[in-house]
Structure 1
Amino acid sequence: MNWKRYLQDKRVEILIFMVGVIIEAVFLAACQVETELFLVAVLVPLVAWLFCLLYDYYRKNSFYRRLFQNLDRMDQKYLVLETLESPRFYDGELLKEALYEANKSMTEHVNESRRVMREFKDFIEMWVHQVKLPVASLLLLCHNHPDENNKKYMEQLRRIDRYTEQVLYYTRAEHAEKDYLIQECSLAGIIHHIAMKNKDDLLENKVEFQVENCDLSVVTDEKWMEFVLDQIVNNSIKYRRKEGARIRITARKDNRQTILSVWDNGIGIASGDLPRLFEKSFTGSNGRIFHHMEEKSTGMGLYIAYNMCEKLGHKIKVESEEGEYTRINITFL
């Protein structure tokens, strides 16, 4: 609490008091009061008022200093009301009461918003599960009756299946810790599932898929790690070069860490896009090019993958040279 600002706020009271003192002094002088009595009559009220001013500043300054100190120390600043003692001045009590009502209203609003969001997420999860069933059935029908048209249908159905799965994982990602099952997992097993899931796209696009030195175990959540790797491999397929496309997955031990690398010789990533690659809905120059060629890139896959690696305690890093290669490293600590 600034002393100068405090005095500025009290300027009207100070002016009124000083005018009163001057009027009193003029009146006493007109009555020819003795000097000693004159000084007592003028100075005593003045000194008493100054002490009152100092006391008022002290108690208010003490209260507001504690308030802002508590605010600086807290991450969730809306909880500052719980740290406040009852102020010993009336306008402080009014402030605390106003903060209490505002905090109560905000809490009710947040709880209602959370309830609505939770219901919406529950509905989306249910909807995705329901949609995936007919999509899987259609994929099976197309697979059992192969012809040129069915291949095109299967390609579009796989896209639908991938995007619905992306929605499902996105809705779960915010509170994914409730869905974790952290345990020792085989990297080779996870990669095998990814290869089987993407085998049709790999074969149709003539992408060579290589796996080397992946007979290692890591501590992670198998389901979420499969999703992360699936997004990376799918991007490698999507942004492949026209001929001689390759994806190579390798793993190595580095002290107590295990580093999994996914390398491809695709069209690469522009250097200006690399710092923003994991931002939400960021598609970059390649995404815009891809949009004109085939379909719109959502920019959500790597965003979800990055956040999941962070929550699982893994580090994910990208290096790339446009027109040459892209390598994504996942470090299991």
Structure 2
Amino acid sequence: MFWKEFLGEKCAHFCGLLLGILFLSTTLAAMGLSWKPIAFLSAVWALCVLAPLAWEYAHKLPFCRQAAGLEGQDVPCARYASMLRRPDFWEGAVIWDLLDRSERELNEKLAAVSQENREYREYVETWVHEIKTPISTLRLAGENHPGPLADRLKEPLSAIERHVEEALFYARSGSVHQDYLIRPMSLQDAINEVMLRYAEPILNYGFVLTRPQEDPLVYSDEKWVHFILGQIVANALQYRSPSPRLAFSILEQEQSVILRVADNGPGIPEKDLPRVFEKGFTGENGRRKNRRSTGLGLYLVQKLCDRLGLGVSVTSRVGEGTAVELVFPRSKFHLASAGRET
């Protein structure tokens, strides 16, 4: 291993050795020595040059093997220095020092970015809690003074609340691994919670709801699942048909539980489907004047599903509607629960 590279690096040494042996042999032959002493002296000379090179190769080989072994591992380059022993030959030491300095500088920058993100998230959370008070005041004022103006304000206030909630969850989504609690949860309860949250627009738009009868046990974080379902329902409300329908169904499989949410809205054009989870992508439907979209809803849905270990997919046909499937994988927790039930 590495012997070809090593020989290539020492090519000048070998050329010098050959020239030296040639000069020695020519000089000794001119002095009248026979070929045997000339061959002996040349061999001794070659051994004196090649032996140190062989030792150098054996000395550098362990470090080179260790460094080459990092290439196939899922390790950032900036962490190479901490995983390698500092070599005692100067070329390797120079490289190791550069890697070590790069790692320290990167760690300092990551710490600064982490602190900045934490401060930003704390600011957004504080802002969201503060903005909820005037929103609640406006809603309460509308309820206390019913009339055409109050009715017109209901939908914009609901939209503001959804966007505020979206901003809060977007700020928290980067640290979902630190802000989640996996435990058994009911999909029926999750559906009911989301339907209660969006009850007013669902009733106002005249949605026909279909709910599943099954209620299998799944393991996830209720708060994040409620947000995911809320984003899906919000899309169905925004892209609704004149006679809107929203159907929830559950399919139990051996290795997973699939929750399907389907509407009969305008559907997503086939060319837009591969990009519905891209950040900021609104597609043809989202660019219509009466249906402006942030393009963050499904992006956050996929991001949170990835963090929670859930599968998510979207199918749609123009003029027929859109269906979103959430896949909750079964695990040893489900098997243990099933054993206790039996």
Provide TM-score, normalisation by structure 2: 0.84
Q: Report the CA distance between 1:265 and its aligned residue.
A: 0.7
Larger displacement relative to structure 2 (18-27 or 266-275): 18-27
Instruction: Evaluate the alpha carbon distance shift between residue 257 and residue 57 of structure 1 in structure 2; reply closer, same or farther with a 3 A threshold.
Output: closer
For residue 66 of structure 1, what is the amino acid of its counterpart? Answer: Q
Q: Report the CA distance between 1:246 and its aligned residue.
A: 1.0
Q: In the alignment, what sits opposite 2:266?
A: 267
Q: Report the CA distance between 1:280 and its aligned residue.
A: 2.7
Q: In the alignment, what sits opposite 1:326?
A: 322
Q: Report the CA distance between 1:161 and its aligned residue.
A: 1.7
Mapped to 1, the partners of 2:233 and 2:26 lie a distance apart of 93
Q: In the alignment, what sits opposite 2:338?
A: none
1:128 aligns with 2:128: yes
Larger displacement relative to structure 2 (93-102 or 227-236): 93-102
For residue 115 of structure 2, what is the amino acid of its counterpart? Answer: R
Q: In the alignment, what sits opposite 1:225?
A: 225
Identity of aligned residues (%): 31
The answer to whether the 8 A contact 2:173-2:304 is kept is yes
Mapped to 1, the partners of 2:126 and 2:228 lie a distance apart of 22
Q: Report the CA distance between 1:219 and its aligned residue.
A: 3.2
Q: Report the CA distance between 1:198 and its aligned residue.
A: 1.7
Alignment of 1:78-157 (within 5 A): 78-157=78-157
Mapped to 1, the partners of 2:192 and 2:24 lie a distance apart of 97
Q: Report the CA distance between 1:143 and its aligned residue.
A: 3.4
| CA-atom RMSD in angstroms | 2.7
Larger displacement relative to structure 2 (165-174 or 28-37): 28-37
Alignment of 1:307-322 (within 5 A): 307-322=303-318
Q: Report the CA distance between 1:245 and its aligned residue.
A: 1.3
Q: Is the partner of 1:248 in helix, strand or coil?
A: strand
Larger displacement relative to structure 2 (116-125 or 133-142): 133-142
Q: Is the partner of 1:323 in helix, strand or coil?
A: coil
Alignment of 1:1-333 (within 5 A): 2-213=2-213, 217-241=217-241, 243-255=242-254, 257-287=256-286, 291-332=287-328, 333=330
1:6-31 deviation per Cα after TM superposition (whole angstroms, max 9, x unaligned) = 33333333334444444444443444
Q: Report the CA distance between 1:96 and its aligned residue.
A: 2.3
Q: Report the CA distance between 1:255 and its aligned residue.
A: 4.7
Note the residue ranges of structure 2 that are not aligned, 5 or more in a row: 331-342
Q: Report the CA distance between 1:204 and its aligned residue.
A: 3.5
Q: In the alignment, what sits opposite 2:334?
A: none
Mapped to 1, the partners of 2:251 and 2:34 lie a distance apart of 100
Mapped to 2, the partners of 1:96 and 1:117 lie a distance apart of 31
The answer to whether the 8 A contact 1:266-1:326 is kept is yes
Q: Is the partner of 2:288 in helix, strand or coil?
A: helix
Note the residue ranges of structure 1 that are not aligned, 5 or more in a row: none
Instruction: Evaluate the alpha carbon distance shift between residue 166 and residue 267 of structure 1 in structure 2; reply closer, same or farther with a 3 A threshold.
Output: same
Instruction: Evaluate the alpha carbon distance shift between residue 10 and residue 200 of structure 1 in structure 2; reply closer, same or farther with a 3 A threshold.
Output: same
For residue 304 of structure 1, what is the amino acid of its counterpart? Answer: L
Provide TM-score, normalisation by structure 1: 0.86
Q: Is the partner of 1:319 in helix, strand or coil?
A: strand
1:180-214 deviation per Cα after TM superposition (whole angstroms, max 9, x unaligned) = 23333333332232223223322343333333425
Instruction: Evaluate the alpha carbon distance shift between residue 39 and residue 253 of structure 1 in structure 2; reply closer, same or farther with a 3 A threshold.
Output: closer
